[in-house]
Amino acid sequence: MTPVARERVFHALAEVHDPELDEPITSLGFVSSCEVGADGDVEVVLRLPTPQCAPNFAFLMAADARGMLRGLPGVRGVTVRLEGHYTGREINAALDRGEGFAGAFPGETADEDLEALRELFLRKALVARQSRLCDGLRAAGETLEQLAARRVADLPDVRDAHRCLELRRRLGLRADPDSAAFVLPSGEPVAAGELGRWLRTARLVRMSLEVNGGICRSLLRVRHGVDIEDPEEEVVLR
């Protein structure tokens, strides 16, 4: 594999999001190292803000990273390791065996429960992203009625809009050009008369995610010396 392939590997990792924060693991500084061998073997090391980060979220990120990289053309084998985490040994062993969360922690929870938790946070992420998108349009002078009338085809070409549509597709919600631009977690359009109240609630969800993301970056700064000011900025490994 060429150096360009290593860059492609790292950009693939940028598609893996912290399920609780809805931010890429690359922009959060969670990717400690990424090595690509000439034979196509890839080894990734993940570091989390504290050793006590929730095992379910740690597993999801590690498993998602492994799954994302295994689908890349030219990649022969993938090894993903958690370092400095109190359940890292169990999670790493389960990943090596190709097992789910129940394989790492038998009897504690079913893999179906973990997927239900993932879906819950995907819906929260959709609410938060739509909130930020709405506030940007409101700041540009758009009325609540105009927001409610928008279709997907009318959304601006920005990251938050792209992520909203990706989340909708993952949740099985309509995301075609003629569908409503802003929807409830169930997929129902937000009515014009309810948009103001919905937006106030959505801002609280967004604030929770943003505050938690800031805490994670602060902890990484203290623990590993990683300094990320822009939540959308990727850490480029040297």
pLDDT in tens, 34-92: 999 888 899 999 999 999 999 999 999 999 999 999 988 889 899 999 999 999 999 99
Amino acid code (one letter) for 192: A
Looking at the chain, the whole-number percentage of residues with pLDDT higher than 70 is 93
Q: What is the pLDDT of residue 232?
A: 52
Q: Which residues contact 104 (CB under 8 A, 6 or more apart)?
A: 55, 59, 87, 90, 91, 93, 94
Count other C-beta atoms under 10 Å from residue 177's C-beta: 9
Q: For residue 4, is pLDDT > 50?
A: no
pLDDT confidence tier of residue 111, bands split at 50, 70 and 90: confident
Rg of the chain over Cα atoms, rounded to whole angstroms, equals 19
Whether the CB-CB separation of 146 and 221 falls below 8 Å is answered with no
**Mean pLDDT computed over 100-113:** 86
Bigger pLDDT: 99 or 235?
Answer: 99
Separation CA 31–CA 55 (nearest Å): 17
* Three-state DSSP state, 191: coil
User: Encoding tokens for residue 164?
Assistant: 């909203």
Q: For residue 228, is pLDDT > 70?
A: no
| Domains in the chain: ranges and CATH | 3-109+220-224 (3.30.300.130), 113-214 (no CATH)
> Nearest-CA neighbor of 126 among 69, 167, 172, 75?
167
